[in-house]
Structure 1
Amino acid sequence: MTISETVEIESKFEVGPDTPVPAASAFAPLVADDPVVHELSATYYDTADLSLTRHKVTLRRRTGGDDAGWHLKLPSEAGRVELRLPLDHGDDVPDEFVAAVAGLVRRRPLAPVARVDNRRHVVLLRDGEGTAVVEFCDDHVTTESLVAAGATAGAAGDWREWEVELVDPSQPRARDHLAAVATACTSAGARTSSSSSKLARAIGPLPDPPDRGVSAVRDALREDLHRVLDHDPAARRVTMVGVHQMRVAVRGLRSTISSFAEELEAETGHTDIDLAAVLEELKVLAAVLGKVRDIQVVDHRLGELAAGYPEDVVSTLTRQRLRVELGAEERRAGARVTAALGSERYLDLLDRLHLLVELAGTGPEVAGSSDGSVPGPTSKKRRREAEDMILRGVDRQFAKFTKARTRTERDLESLELTLAQREELTHVVRKRAKALRRNVGALRESDGLTVAPLRTACQRLHTVLGDVQDSVTARRWIRRIARRAESAGESTFGFGVLYEHERGFSERALDGFENDAATVTAAYRELSESRRAARRRKKKSTKK
């Protein structure tokens, strides 16, 4: 069954029950159609722990209006992507939508969590050429929460709100029109909505995990896993941002597990969790995501680079071959991502990761006092223990970074290396800097710790060497595609130009490597000195 897809860009406003709708003249120069009334009724589905809602995903079955059907709304960089299927499944969630959110749902059932009825008054706003631009909705809403537990279980509510949505976000000046209509709404007495959706208002605020703050490692793992799942739906659709962000999150999670392997081994020794196997699975997943990500980056990079040259240097035929070859490879790599994320192997990995989060922080050092109680997450002792644990992870990653940096700089100085060999050596340093940056990112500027310079230095080195690695990948593809063009009897002059451009870029980027690496080391020493100063202040305070 074909899924229809639209991008939803809208603004919501809270209004009182008697607030007058803006006059048609308030929307000028847009022209208002006569209002149309729809009776809408929607049932929202989620897991028992509201996993979809926690990841800003909405799944509903709606009747009434001109878009009755199953709707799945997913977050995206451009707005909300809305997928639709017709009402051909009764009350059963369509398999296509279950598959689209399988990483969030895993093998758990989806059940109704809220019912929202809405008497909607719709006014279509058109530009001077008669094209529909913005839809203004005056919604009179009645809701019932169906969550199994919590303060909103079985609760009902009613309110009124205005919603303005772009009909087609790709139209010229679409966002300007939306902003103008939003201004008309606030001028009429509306307030920007404090809730992101009708569902969020129906079920109320989601509680934080009750064990937050008990273990720094658990908090870090939970946050990393949450990031992975945030980008799971977009990665399944093989969007460039979704794949990239999920790959970053997977690597971050792997880095966190590696940094705190010593603590986690002690806490998982009595279970079936094999940390080494989990790390290997995450490595495989990152590699699958990396294949399509690399192709997407190269496609975009070479497309922009080729466009900067005249056609008598990089010909139309050369550009076309680049697009065709890279497009076909991206489709193949994307199919592998879809298959991987749709596999039982991936769901098994997620199950183990969720269990790992539950087990983290259950070791004797955080098991509580002799009477079995656990200190509150706001206690100074608990915060200090959490900070010390993160700092130990920073120390471990910096030791690995220093080892890689020392070996690389020694080889760069003593050996006559090709550019490819230099790039390979510095790539190892980049990975160490990235792992260090992730650990530093968990630290706060608290108790006099100087964290920002190290975070900035790691980011700088990672970015520079990341650009070098993108250039390496681009040159590899240029060579591969040029050979195919040569076999087809085509001119390869343009490919040579692009290759040399990328080669020069990498040479220039590597010139500043040693200075950037030294800045990381200097920033770590600054952090270490601030730690020592904090200890001295603490000792003086204790003596007093």
Structure 2
Amino acid sequence: MFTDGWYNRSMTINETVEVESKFEVDDDIPAPSADAFAPLVVDGPDEYELSAVYYDTDDLSLTRHKVTLRRRTGGDDEGWHLKLPAHAGRVELQAPLGDEVPDEFLSAVAGLVRRRPLAPVARIDNLRRVHTLRDDHGAAVIEFCDDHVSTEAFVNGGSAATWREWEAEIVDPALPDAHAHLAAVAAACTDAGATTSSSSSKLARAIGPLPDAGDEGVSPVRDALARDLGTLLDHDPAARRTTMVGVHQMRVAVRGLRSTISTYAAELEADAADTDLDLPGLLAELKVLAAVLGRLRDIQVVDERLGDLAAGYPEDVVSPQIRQRLRVELDAEARRAGERVTSALLSDRYLDLVDRLHELARVAGGTTAKGGKKKRREAGELMLSGVDRQFKKFTKVRTRTERDLAELDLTLAEREELTHVVRKRAKALRRNVNALPGTDGLTVAPLRDACQRLHTVLGDVQDSVTTRRWLRRIARRAEIAGESTFGFGVLFERERGFSERALDGFESDAAAVTAAYRELSESRRAARKRRKKDEKAKKGKKKGGRK
């Protein structure tokens, strides 16, 4: 849900989760019969004439990031609609009909729009016949819509089209067996002669393929920046709503951007020489954003872990009072951290940062683009040299950590602190590996997988560390209030045991990273030999031709 300050309390904004299946169907095919939808009972049809104008930026930023903004008249839900991607289906926000885009909707997509104007990109008219499918208790389960669509696009040169499609949408995803009923209705649609829609939405079909956003493949560094910036913006709307997935994925993207900019700072400084971009300042701003997101992310992870842990104990071990205190304390902390995230993403400071990231992605690899094939090959080698540098850092930390673990009598907290540094180095190495272009037959996947496995194991350890820190903090407050803290101790020891066991396999997982790097190195040597052999063969053909 929105945090405080997101929307005007005097305006009614409805929020629903949209889970649907869409089908393409010829005009002469009859809709499935009522018997085909059994055991659901068919009501209707109700008929509506709908007309919607869709809005976007000139580069179709909303559409690129799977966001839909429209003003629709007709039907029982006319008004402004904003559809946002979600973990399951899409979140749809609805506001009353008016002439201007609601400020609340502009705030929700501010990171994608970036202070640029929104303009109509398409008009879609729809003659809709709706059947409500109910269960044996009379509850509405599925809405089946038979749509006759006509569209006019105002972008990509402009075009018009007409078609017919069926939609089956769950009324309430929380209802028991709702998804099973949707699957059954979908099967009835295909049995009647429909085919699964090839477009994700009516708008996507109306405007056609999107123009290329940039010159992919010109520079691996540019591709890496564009990929992480795209991920950041994909999850921007969800992070503004402080969803767990949105906050996590935006934080991952921010870290990826920091890693790429730091690793290739010298090359990017040269590319940005003719701009006002300040790379150290950019890195500092990304660090601040990562910290704001990280605070909320940590609380969300702790909340989830403790909820799962407490659920495994009877109430005479972890009492209802302890469960309630955990819930109240963590909810309050999450609310405060969420407000900080929302405030940060609504600020001009954040929008300035996104503008600068777009500018950096635009100029990155400029010298590579001008240099032709040889420069592009050198850029690929540059990415590999970045992997080499990160592996050296990983190896140095790993060697020191394994030596200290073997020679010193360390507490669990000291062992966790040492391995956390290894995790950070493995994470940086993984990001550089992920940025490698998939060319020249290099064996990249084993190193990527090994880094991910080590990062996951040590990440779980760090989550356990954070959870125990919060348990101590909340237990102290409970003790001051005169409450029993026995259950906190049980949960603490359970987390402590988890961390002990997870660290037992650290050395083998770290060794797998080293082995996978050697495999990549072998494939690089083989690729260089093949390239030299090919170049020698080409020179031989040229000499033969001159004779």
Q: Does 1:3 align with 2:6?
A: no
User: Does the residue aligned with 2:136 lie in a helix, a strand or coil?
Assistant: coil
Out of 321, 324, 346, the residue aligned to residue 325 of structure 2 is 321
Work out whether 1:203 is the aligned partner of 2:203.
Answer: no
Counterpart-to-counterpart distance in 2, 1:63 and 1:300: 42
CA distance in 2 between counterparts of 1:391 and 1:210 reads 23
Amino acid at match of 2:402: E
Name the stretch that deviates more: 441-450 or 198-207: 441-450
After the TM superposition, which residues 28-67 of structure 1 pair with which residues of structure 2 at under 5 Å, given as runs?
28-67=38-77
Find out whether 1:367 has 2:370 as its counterpart.
yes
TM-fit CA distance, 1:416: 2.8
Aligned-pair CA distance for 1:122: 0.8
The aligned runs of 1:162-173 (5 Å cut-off) are: 162-173=166-177
Q: Which stretch of structure 1 is more off in the superposition, 390-399 or 335-344? A: 390-399
- Report the alpha carbon displacement of residue 385 of structure 1 after superposing the two structures with TM: 4.0
Q: 1:132 to 1:13 in 2, by over 3 A?
A: same
Show the counterpart of 1:371: none
* Alignment equivalent of 2:334, drawn from 330, 334, 347: 330
Q: Is the 1:214–1:382 contact (alpha carbons within 8 Å) kept by the matching residues of 2?
A: no
The equivalent of 1:506 in structure 2 is 499
**1:386 Cα offset (Å):** 4.4
Structure 1 length as normaliser, TM-score?
0.94
| Residue of structure 2 in register with 1:309 after alignment | 313
Contact 2:68 2:83 in 1 (8 A): yes
Once superposed, which parts of structure 1, at least 4 consecutive aligned residues long, lie more than 4 Å away?
none
- Greater Cα offset, 233-242 or 388-397: 388-397
Aligned residues: 527
Match in the other structure for 1:140: 148
Q: Which residue of 2 aligns with 1:462?
A: 455
Q: How many angstroms apart in 2 are the aligned matches of 1:514 and 1:243? A: 31
Contact kept, 8 Å, 1:444 with 1:451, in 2: the verdict is no
In the alignment, does 2:362 pair up with 1:358?
A: yes
Whole-Å Cα distance in 1 between the matches of residues 92 and 411 of structure 2?
Answer: 50
- 270-279 vs 40-49, which moves further: 270-279
Match of 1:492 in 2: 485
CA distance in 2 between counterparts of 1:230 and 1:39 reads: 32
Alignment of 1:376-387 (within 5 A): 384-387=377-380
Specify the SS of the correspondent of 1:314.
coil
Contact residue 218 and residue 376 of structure 2 kept, 8 A: no
List alignment gaps of at least 5 residues for structure 2.
1-10, 538-547
State the partner residue of 2:96. 86
Q: Distance in 1 between matches of 2:283 and 2:258?
A: 6
Distance 1:83 1:48, change over 3 A: same
What is the TM-score of this pair, normalised by structure 2?
0.94
Q: Structure 1's 528 and 41: CA in aligned 2 closer, same or farther, altered over 3 A?
A: same
- On the 8 A contact 2:219/2:376 being kept in 1, the answer is no
Out of 2, 15, 34, the residue aligned to residue 24 of structure 1 is: 34
Deviation at 1:210, TM superposition (A): 4.7
**1:111: Cα distance to partner?**
0.9
Equivalences for residues 437-476 of structure 1 within 5 A: 437-443=430-436, 446-476=439-469
Structure-2 separation of matches of 1:499 and 1:493? 10
The Cα shift of 1:119 comes to: 0.6
Q: What is the one-letter code of the residue matched to 2:112?
A: L
- C-alpha displacement at 1:105, in angstroms? 0.4
Q: Distance in 2 between matches of 1:261 and 1:195?
A: 40
| Counterpart check, 1:416 vs 2:420 | no
1:74 equivalenced with 2:84 (yes/no): yes
Structure 2: how far apart are the matches of 1:160 and 1:540?
A: 57
What amino acid maps onto 1:42 in structure 2?
A: A
User: Where does residue 271 of structure 1 map in the other structure?
Assistant: 275
* Per-residue deviation, residues 214-245 of structure 1 (Å, max 9, x unmatched): 21111111111000000000000001111111
Indicate the SS of the match to 1:81: strand
- The superposition leaves residues 153-195 of structure 1 with CA deviations (integer Å, 9 ceiling, x where unpaired) of 3311111111111111111110111111111111111111111
3-state SS of paired residue (2:189): helix
Offset, 1:387: 2.9
> Do residues 131 (structure 1) and 139 (structure 2) align?
yes
Deviation of the 1:543 alpha carbon? 3.2
Identity %: 76
TM-superposed CA distance for 1:212, in Å, is 1.9
Query: Does structure 1 conserve the Cα–Cα contact (< 8 Å) formed by 2:369 and 2:376?
Result: no
